[in-house]
Amino acid sequence: KNEVEQSPQNLTAQEGEFITINCSYSVGISALHWLQQHPGGGIVSLFMLSSGKKKHGRLIATINIQEKHSSLHITASHPRDSAVYICAVRRQGAQKLVFGQGTRLTINP
Amino acid sequence: NAGVTQTPKFQVLKTGQSMTLQCAQDMNHNSMYWYRQDPGMGLRLIYYSASEGTTDKGEVPNGYNVSRLNKREFSLRLESAAPSQTSVYFCASSEAFQGNRDQPQHFGDGTRLSIL
């Protein structure tokens, strides 16, 4: 079993819908990252969080440390949000990130 | 501001050939990383360099070597390429991780490598 599991693996929605992508992990962590990989391949960091909630524009990330679970929400989704969203965790005391397999999101106009 | 620059963007090799993937960052970051990304799998760490002069193995180091040439540059070498090394390779950099104070990683655009 992977240390970091994302669901769903693929998600297709209509423009304007509220999107939720989930990430569960099985180890103690010091931080969780959400990243976005564009269709062209580039990867950008969206959020780092160790507790609570963060918001940037239409994106919201939450984390529940006790339940070892994080969610990434997109409000008023748009076709330009189509990308692969990747969750990664840093184990407590570790230098390295462990990545989930990614969730491929497609937003249709 | 270029960020993280990888060269080349595409490469096709024959089995047994060698090559070096180049990575340079202009953000004065201490830490640099090499990942590979394969279909259906998450990014997997090959090697990383926490600071200039140090390198450490990641999850999948076999068949690769690295050199942290200076603070800016971190290269990945395939000495004898194998078809199993066909993948997309990403270089990344970040500020040094200290205790519980995490830092975002900045990624290059990737190198698509095919081994025939």
pLDDT of A32-84, one tens digit each?
A: 999 999 987 789 999 999 999 999 999 999 999 999 999 999 999 999 999 99
Whether B39 contacts chain A with CB within 8 A:
no
Grouped pLDDT means (10 residues each) for chain B, 116 residues: 90 96 95 93 92 92 95 96 96 79 89 96
Distance from CA of B49 to the nearest CA of A (A): 10
E strand spans, chain B: 4-7, 10-13, 19-25, 31-37, 44-49, 56-57, 64-68, 74-78, 87-94, 106-107, 111-115
Contact check, Cβ <8 Å, A101/B106: no
Measured in angstroms, the CA of A63 and the nearest CA of chain B are apart by 15
Give tens-digit pLDDT for B20-34: 999 999 999 999 999
- Is A30 within 8 Å of B43 when comparing Cβ atoms? no
